Amino acid sequence: IYSSDAEYEPGTVLKLGGNAEVTQTRSFNDTEVFGVVSTNPAYLMNSEADGVAVALTGRVPVMCQGRIKKGERIVSSNEPGKAKALGNNEYDMRSIIGRALHDKESFTDELVEVVVGVK
Query: Is 11 within 8 Å of 52 (Cβ atoms)?
Result: no
Coil, strand or helix at 21: coil
pLDDT in tens, 25-52: 999 999 999 999 998 887 777 777 889 9
End-to-end distance of the chain based on CA atoms, in angstroms? 23
Chain centre distance of CA 63: 7
pLDDT in tens, 53-85: 999 999 999 999 999 999 999 999 999 999 999
Q: Tell me the whole-structure pTM to 2 decimals.
A: 0.93
Chain centre distance of CA 68: 14
